[in-house]
Structure 1
């Protein structure tokens, strides 16, 4: 029983450590990264997300640093009212996730 409890504790700590590594970046940090050329412009990142859902509108956006990678998250609403979560690599502009919001 102790080993099961220990395994659950280790699994929980591992998951928590992974979540803690993702860091939301504020607008000032995001602008500094953009101005330094570290990440693409927000217009280009939004365009990459919108290319997956032409005619959609951009809702909330967020820039995160996760394991040293900058990821730009965009919430879109398409013309049918369906919401989409799109994640774009902020350095390359490549869409890495695109799924319907539930």
Structure 2
């Protein structure tokens, strides 16, 4: 029984540590980072995402701090009504992930 409790505690701590490493940034903090030149403008980031799927439209965006790296999450819907999830490095605009949503 002690082994199960130890495993559960370790799993809980690991999950909590992972959640603490990634956090959503609010609009004020995102604008501050943009104005400081730490991240690209949201227009440039959206353009980089839309370049991967011409004719698509942006449905949702979110800026996250993941392990000290700013990641811009974008949901797109293309002309065939397919939803795409993209992750971009908010500092460089590099597309890190581009996958069709299930």
TM-score (norm 2): 0.90
Alpha-carbon offset, residue 28 of structure 1? 1.1
Structure 1's consecutive aligned runs of 4 or more residues displaced over 2 angstroms after TM superposition are 1-5
Alpha-carbon offset, residue 8 of structure 1? 3.4
1:7 is matched with 7
1:96 is matched with 96
Distance in structure 2 (CA, Å) of the matches to 1:52 and 1:11: 38
- 1:28-59: CA deviation from partner (whole Å, max 9, x where unpaired): 11111111100001111111111211111001
2:61 is matched with 61
TM-score (norm 1): 0.90
Distance in structure 1 (CA, Å) of the matches to 2:58 and 2:89: 17
Distance in structure 2 (CA, Å) of the matches to 1:73 and 1:18: 18
1:51 aligns with 2:51: yes
RMSD: 1.3
- Unmatched 5+ residue regions in structure 1? none
Distance in structure 1 (CA, Å) of the matches to 2:66 and 2:31: 18
